[in-house]
Structures are given as structure tokens and as C-alpha cells.
Amino acid sequence: MKTANWIAHFERNKKNRPQPDWDAPFRVPEGKRAHLARSLAEYQLGDGGGECRLVARDAAVFRGSERDMDRLVDLWFEEEREHSRLLSHAVRRVGGKFVTDTPAMRLFYACRRALGVQFELLVLLIVEIVSTTYYRCIRRHVGDEPIAAMCRLIIRDEVGHVAFHQNRLAEAHPEGVGALWRLCFLVLGLVCAGFLWVGKNGACLRALGTTRTEFFQSVAAGLRRFLRALARESVPARCLQPVRSLPTHVLP
């Protein structure tokens, strides 16, 4: 991997981050506000508010796999902590109560610890793709500019995280991933989306006006887009060219 390029990306991405105007008037109807309060509080815990690090029993293997990989992983999770900070403002804005633990989070971390760092990295990639759809739906339907601005910042970061995983997997699989890997990736992605949709987060999206079709089509499109991009990336092309600067914003 071009670890130096990715370190430069994460350092550069700390700049030019216009912060949401959290003091702006809040006019979201009560029904939507209550759902937002529950959902954003849960996301604040999961998106950098809990154990914001690789927790797999063999995480040190990945952190030491290349020169400066340790630094790169730290910068990645530093950005996740920034998401938690932004979400904490959103939770306060909607009058939510912070969540410190859930059974789902305990199970999530237990699986990551037990099943090894490669599984953990795969799951984190899938969560970032599904979360991108969550934030896009919130941004599109929330009707509150500060929360929409927060979503734009987080989506901008998630684009970089997904591209980082793409580069990492292209290096690990120069001949491309197999059909079984692609199938497992799609199935895990849709299972993750299903868990989100049936819980508090899905209830929030529905209350805001997101349809089931809109949500799952967006997740499926993100998963397929990742697989196509991964197939296009090759080791020879990457050896000849540095990682390009990633977009600083995401169009609707």
C-alpha cells in the first residue's frame, strides 16, 4: 500500500472542515425529533464512541504489516472519533440521551475479537458502506441544516475510508477476489443493512421519510460499486501511480 499517501490524505482531511451551526434554530417536528434522538445516540456510541480501535486478538499483526501502518490505523480511528464528537453535538441538539453500552455493541466487539483482524477489517468496511447510506438518508430527509451539514462531513470521510479498504484489498488480492468472497461480501452487507433497518436506526429513517426500497437499493448499489472498483484496481497500475487525492465533498 502507499501508506505515506494515505497518511497524507488523513492529515489533509483534517483541514477545511466547516463545522455545523449547532446554535441555529431547530424546527424538526416532535415525532421525527424523538426518533432522531434515539438513533443518533446509538450511532454516537458505534461510530467512534466505544472502543475506537482495532480490537481483534491479532490486530497487532495488521498494525505491524507495513512501515507506518500503525500511524495510518491511528489516523483512521482518529477520524472515527471525530464522527463521535460531531454526533455528540447532534444528540444534544435533538435532546437525546447518550448511550454507553448496548447488547448489540457487546456482541459486535466480541465477534471482532474472536474472529481475527481480517474479519474485523471486512466487517468495518461493510459497516462504513452501510453507514454511508444511513447518513445520506438522514441528510436528504432530516430538514435540519446543521445535522445535514454533519452528515456531509461524515460522508466525505467515509468515502476515504472505503477507498482505503479498496486499496488495501487490491494489494492483498492482486488477482482479484474470488466469487465466494464477493458473495459473502454482498450477503454480509445486506445482513448488516437488515439489522440497521429493523432497529432504532431504521425506525428513524422511516420516520424521516426514507422508504425500504430507497434504503436497500442504496446499500446494494454501494456494495456493487465497491466490488467493481476493487476489480478495476491492479497492483501494476498502483505501483506506477500514487494514490490520487480523494474528493473533499460528495455530491447528492
pLDDT in tens, 160-175: 999 999 999 998 888 8
Name the band, by pLDDT with cuts 50, 70 and 90, for residue 28.
very high
Q: At what angle do helices 69-93 and 3-13 cross, to 10 degrees?
A: 30
C-alpha separations of 13 from 36, 68, 145, 185, 245 in Å: 27, 18, 22, 28, 10
Query: Is residue 16 domain-resident?
Result: no
Query: Is residue 2 domain-resident?
Result: no
Can you tell me the mean pLDDT for 130-151? 97
Query: Is residue 38 domain-resident?
Result: yes
Average model confidence (pLDDT) for the chain? 90
User: Does residue 239 have a pLDDT over 60?
Assistant: no
Name the band, by pLDDT with cuts 50, 70 and 90, for residue 50.
confident
Domain CATH for 102 = 1.20.1260.10
User: Does residue 54 have a pLDDT over 90?
Assistant: yes
pLDDT score for 237:
45
Query: Is residue 161 domain-resident?
Result: yes
Query: Is residue 119 domain-resident?
Result: yes
Task: Check the CA dihedral 198-204-205-208 and report its sign.
Answer: positive
Can you tell me the mean pLDDT for 89-114? 92
Rg (the chain; Cα; Å): 18
User: Does residue 245 have a pLDDT over 50?
Assistant: no
Q: For the chain, give the DSSP string.
A: --HHHHHHHHHHHTSS-PPP-TTS-----HHHHHHHHHHHHHHHHHTTTS--S--STTHHHHHTSSTTHHHHHHHHHHHHHHHHHHHHHHHHHTT-------HHHHHHHHHHHHH-HHHHHHHHHHHHHHHHHHHHHHHHH---HHHHHHHHHHHHHHHHHHHHHHHHHHHH-TT---HHHHHHHHHHHHHHHHHHHHSHHHHHHHHHT--HHHHHHHHHHHHHHHHHHHHH--HHHHHHSPPPPPPSS---
State how many domains the chain has. 1
Instruction: Domain of residue 212: give its range.
Output: 29-234
pLDDT score for 175:
86
Query: Is residue 7 domain-resident?
Result: no
Query: Is residue 248 domain-resident?
Result: no
Query: Is residue 111 domain-resident?
Result: yes
Name the phi and psi angles at 115, rounded to 5: -95, 0
- pLDDT, one tens digit per residue, over 181-237 is 999 999 999 999 999 999 999 999 999 999 999 999 999 999 999 999 999 985 454
User: Does residue 240 have a pLDDT over 50?
Assistant: no
User: Does residue 248 have a pLDDT over 80?
Assistant: no
User: Does residue 247 have a pLDDT over 90?
Assistant: no
How far is 91 from 218, CA to CA, in rounded Å? 25
Three cell numbers written together for 128: 462504513
Can you tell me the mean pLDDT for 76-95? 96
